[in-house]
Structure 1
Amino acid sequence: MSVKNMGGEKIKRKKYISYLIYPVIFFLILYFLQRLFVPKYMGRVVEGNFTEEYYQEISPHDVLILGDCEAYENISPITLWKNYGITSYIRGNASQLLSQSYYLLRDSLKTETPKLVILSIAAMQYPAQTNESYNRMVLDGMRWSMDKIMAYRASAMEGEHFLDYLFPLFRFHSRWKELEADDFRYFFQKKRVSHNGYYLRADVRPLVEFPRERRIIDYNFDPVCMEYLDKIRKLCEEKGISLMLIKAPSLYPSWYEEWDRQVRDYALQHKLHYLNAIECIPEIGLDFQHDSYDGGLHMNVYGAEKLSDFLGKDLIKNYALPDHRGEEVLQKIWAEKVEYYKKARDEQEREFSEYGYLKQFSDEP
């Protein structure tokens, strides 16, 4: 081969290499920008991490709990383990719709089949999403699959675009003006913020007076909510999983008798166990002067532990759930979870005792 031909071959190879390298560099830049601009949810709002933290689990669960804040702020899987040896996880998020709970359940069943699904039915009153940020917190952390696509289609608001979920950089590119230290600190890896899906709060804000209960025109649940309740029930039946319905003992917003009657009728019709914990507040031992962190809307860790202990007794009574505390492998896994939980609780208690509030969740300097 002549020197001239050899030179031509080198030029061609360089061109081919450049055709490969430049696109790779371009997509790497886009990837790093996306990692930087997407919210990290490590400040006051941590719920945006709940969905993706589930995928870090290395052992299956006998109980999966689905729902909105009435699930993830009021039930402590660590307490269920410590007191009863029940393994559980909460797949919940802020304002999580029933449609989203359904697709998160489908997502979970790809890797595990629990003995029991507990569904918080507070979301029966919300057929559609009211804020894009709630959709983002539920869906952004969900692994890509047809279930994520269908979850988006079921809950997308007017003005939301699928491409913004496929490529979050399109949605968050303007955050370059709002970048904070956390965006760089947690660029590669974020710390765990939940305890098997539970949102721990050890601060105390006593019960306040709520607005008077408002009458509404139509107390019937929206057909969309009934549709996804049916889908969750049928999916559980198909997989041989027991389904339990629960209403957390939250004092506000109002849970109308007309709503409760519909849930009871549905549970009776389909032979489901329904626990309305509002009716059990004295038996649970809740004191909303001490057991809430936001004036009675949600329970703090003290209230959640009381409810979880009460729930554990109910689960042992109504379902054949095994006590795993004597199993060496699970004991080791959950010992680490208990230690992490205790450390977080102790740190919050110390901080609240010193300042009267929790810095991470407060506007105080």
Structure 2
Amino acid sequence: MKKNTKAQKCIKITASACIVLATLFLLQRLLVPKYVDDVVEGAFIAEYYEEEKDHNVIFIGDCEVYENFSPAVLWQEYGINSYIRGSAQQYIWQSYYLLEDTLRYETPEVVVFNILSLQYDQSQKEAYNRMTLEGMEWSPVKVKAILASMKEEESFLDYVFPILRYHSRWSELTRADVQYMFRTKPVSHNGYYMRVDVKAAENVPEGRILGDYSFGENAWKYLDKMTALCEEKGIELILIKAPSLYPYWYPEWEAQVEEYAAARGLRYLNFLELGEDTGIDYSTDTYDGGLHMNLSGAEKLSRYLGRMLTEELGVPDRRGEAHLAALWEEKLAAYEAEKEEQYRYYGMK
């Protein structure tokens, strides 16, 4: 009789613990931001894991990659299978660990990295950390990325158990938080964030005078690590500066990157200096006054880069591969559908 009582007590405790854990899990799923309606950039990193991992080209970096290049165009016109692992204000140490993370699944022939983040030697905002780090799948790489990124006031446990961070988010909940508790809708096209609207670049401010134009030791350390990792894996690393007019890109910064690339035999493309070749028109090809390209600008940049990847680096045209072509047929249909939807929304067509 005592044995039965003890067994029943054990079952009750176990059942209660399971109920508590299940409840906490459901609450966490409810309270964590879904990034499907507002601030969609927070969903980009997680979307990669839903993809088949067979990309020839991987982009990594901040908004100057995910708003300025279109993998759909690279496929449609050159047969290049690519993906953008971008996120808002992605710091260079996060880019490095995202590269490490990507190499757990695949080894691309080319990695394209936008160098604007060299200006930061430490994390600026927790919100930007979370938009990059929370979407990563758990692995030792994610742990290293979190530890490299956390600000002093942040806690590692808050990343392990996001409910600790978002427990007070009740007043911000929307229908989307319930609808997308377990699976969110795609918000990018292979990492590309589409905008078709137009706002010409006018009265772009000059950069303010800085006390020191040198990039920090931490930033250089992670660029060195990225360069070494690509060399070790036989990957061509291309450094780029997107043609965004703001934040201002200082000549002193440009000189440091040019010297670094030349010393290590890396390709470096500064699209601010390639306007004649790319055809970028700042009166029609940006949606926010020159900070980022719109669809027109992104497609122009993608055509230029695709031509270079094909002709100079020999990245293969894979449009003849039946399975991949079928995947891209679906992707292009979604791409064109959103394009038409946005044109209607902005009254452009």
Same fold, TM exceeding 0.5? yes
Partner in structure 2 of residue 58 of structure 1:
52
- What's the CA shift string for 1:52-81, capped at 9, x where partnerless? 100001141001101001011101111111
The question of whether the paired residues in 1 share the 8 Å contact of 2:53 and 2:105 is answered with: no
- Residue 290 of structure 2, aligned match among 288, 296, 310: 296
Q: Tell me the amino acid that sits aligned with residue 293 of structure 1.
A: Y
Structure 1 residue 99: deviation in Å? 0.1
Partners of 2:52 and 2:244 in 1: how far apart? Answer: 32
SS of structure 2 residue aligned to 1:353 = coil
The question of whether the paired residues in 1 share the 8 Å contact of 2:206 and 2:248 is answered with: no
CA RMSD in angstroms comes to 1.3
SS of structure 2 residue aligned to 1:266 = helix
SS of structure 1 residue aligned to 2:167 = helix
Structure 1 residue 145: deviation in Å? 1.2
Partner in structure 2 of residue 115 of structure 1:
109
Partners of 1:106 and 1:67 in 2: how far apart? Answer: 13
Whether 1:27 and 2:18 are equivalent positions in the alignment is no
The count of aligned residue pairs is 349
Partner in structure 1 of residue 338 of structure 2:
344
Equivalent runs, 1:140-219 vs 2, <5 Å: 140-219=134-213
Equivalent runs, 1:186-265 vs 2, <5 Å: 186-265=180-259
Partner in structure 2 of residue 69 of structure 1:
63
Partner in structure 2 of residue 100 of structure 1:
94
Q: Tell me the amino acid that sits aligned with residue 147 of structure 1.
A: V
The question of whether the paired residues in 1 share the 8 Å contact of 2:278 and 2:301 is answered with: yes
Partners of 1:210 and 1:59 in 2: how far apart? Answer: 40
Partners of 2:205 and 2:273 in 1: how far apart? Answer: 20
SS of structure 2 residue aligned to 1:233 = helix
Structure 2, unaligned runs of 5 or more: none
Partners of 2:268 and 2:287 in 1: how far apart? Answer: 26
Partner in structure 2 of residue 330 of structure 1:
324
- TM (norm. structure 2) is 0.97
Q: Which one is further off, 203-212 or 134-143?
A: 203-212
The question of whether the paired residues in 1 share the 8 Å contact of 2:62 and 2:89 is answered with: yes
Structure 1 residue 216: deviation in Å? 1.3
Partner in structure 1 of residue 302 of structure 2:
308
Q: Tell me the amino acid that sits aligned with residue 222 of structure 2.
A: Y
- What's the CA shift string for 1:99-131, capped at 9, x where partnerless? 000001101101100001111111111112211
SS of structure 2 residue aligned to 1:246 = strand
Identity of aligned residues (%): 50
- Residue 347 of structure 2, aligned match among 345, 350, 353: 353
Equivalent runs, 1:12-23 vs 2, <5 Å: 12-23=6-17
The question of whether the paired residues in 1 share the 8 Å contact of 2:238 and 2:268 is answered with: yes
Structure 1 residue 13: deviation in Å? 3.0
The question of whether the paired residues in 1 share the 8 Å contact of 2:194 and 2:294 is answered with: yes
Partners of 2:118 and 2:311 in 1: how far apart? Answer: 26
Partners of 2:327 and 2:289 in 1: how far apart? Answer: 35
Q: Tell me the amino acid that sits aligned with residue 208 of structure 1.
A: E
Q: Tell me the amino acid that sits aligned with residue 247 of structure 1.
A: K
Partners of 2:244 and 2:142 in 1: how far apart? Answer: 30
Partners of 2:172 and 2:263 in 1: how far apart? Answer: 52
Partner in structure 2 of residue 360 of structure 1:
none
Partners of 1:205 and 1:341 in 2: how far apart? Answer: 22
- What's the CA shift string for 1:127-161, capped at 9, x where partnerless? 12211110000000111111111111111112011
Q: Which one is further off, 209-218 or 147-156?
A: 209-218
Spell out structure 1 runs of 4+ moving beyond 4 A: none
Which protein is bigger by CA-based radius of gyration?
A: 1
Structure 1 residue 9: deviation in Å? 4.3
